[in-house]
Amino acid sequence: MGKFRIGSYEDLSNERGFQFEFKCDGCGRVFRSDFDRSETRILKKTNESVGKVASFLGNLFGGKVSTVGSAIDSGTGLVSDVSGDRYDDEKKKAFEKAEDWAQESLKRCKKCGRWFCEECYDAEAEMCSPCAEEEKAEEEKRRAEEEAEKEEREREEEQRRREAKKRVCHKCHEFVPEGMRFCGICGAPMIKVCPSCGAENEPRMNFCTECGTRLK
Ligand SMILES: [Zn+2]
Ligand SMILES: [Zn+2]
Ligand SMILES: [Zn+2]
Ligand SMILES: [Zn+2]
């Protein structure tokens, strides 16, 4: 069964046996395990305080005991020995069994970690319905962000391409490293300096792109 144990439950066990109640964290639907009769229930003919037994029961797993009074077998005056390790072990095993059973109906949300019935659970997403919806919205947001990033990258790429183009000699079309003023292959000038404003223009320009002065 699942490696996650169900966290919240009601303990309905008493000295006669074990029973647990598991709840859907969404709709509150209750799944009650079959009553699992205690095998190691040992009857002791003592007059040990019933209260002690009852409070011990109550402390086991921190659960709630529904039948506190039944620690005394009616008529016989025998008291069940539920203070032994055997009962303890038995209860632990019974609880695990009950949990395995409950996990057939209750599934754990992988996002919030709580347990949900079929109705409140999105099996495909392996999440409770609210978490699945939240996740879907986040997924959409992520996609939109990725889309925006991609556009930004494309814009930058385009910008780089434009920059690179500028560094190709207009005469021989060889690549000219940035900052070079003349093409090293054919000797063509890589810039036309505007005689009026001093702006550096691409050599194919006939007019200064800064001030409109005719370039030679
Ligand atoms: Zn439910
Ligand atoms: Zn959830
Ligand atoms: Zn050239
Ligand atoms: Zn100019």
Closest CA to 214 of 198, 191, 205: 205
Which residue stretches of the chain have pLDDT < 70? 1-3, 40-83, 165-166
pLDDT at 138: 95
CA of 173 to the centre of ligand 4 (A): 25
Q: List C-alpha distances in Å: 143 to 114, 130, 136, 137, 146.
A: 27, 20, 10, 10, 5
Q: What is the pLDDT, as a whole number, of residue 83? A: 63
Please report whether residue 33 resides in a domain. yes
Is 32 found in the same domain as 105?
yes
End position of a domain, from candidates 53, 82, 117: 117
35 falls within a domain: yes
pLDDT of 62 reads 46
Place of tokens 């990033």: 149
pLDDT at 111: 94
> Is the whole model's pTM more than 0.85, yes or no?
no
Encode pLDDT of 26-67 as tens digits. Answer: 999 999 999 998 876 555 544 444 444 444 444 444 444 444
Any domain includes 122: no
Surrounding ion ligand 1 within 5 Å at CB are 24, 26-27, 29, 117, 119-120
Domain count, the chain: 2
**Residues bordering ligand 3, an ion, CB closer than 5 Å:** 169, 171-172, 183, 185-186, 188
Residues 21 and 97 reside in one and the same domain: yes
Q: Which of 58, 92, 117 is the last residue of a domain?
A: 117
Same domain, 106 and 173: no
The alpha carbon of 41 and the centre of ligand 4 are apart by a number of angstroms equal to: 103
107 in the same domain as 28: yes
Mark which of 117, 140, 175 sits at the end of a domain: 117
For residue 151, being part of any structural domain is answered with no
Could you say which ligand is closest to the alpha carbon of residue 129?
Answer: 2
What range defines the domain where residue 99 resides? Answer: 9-117
* Model pLDDT, residue 3: 56
Q: How far apart are the first and last CA of the chain?
A: 84
Same domain, 187 and 105: no
Q: Is residue 24 part of a domain?
A: yes
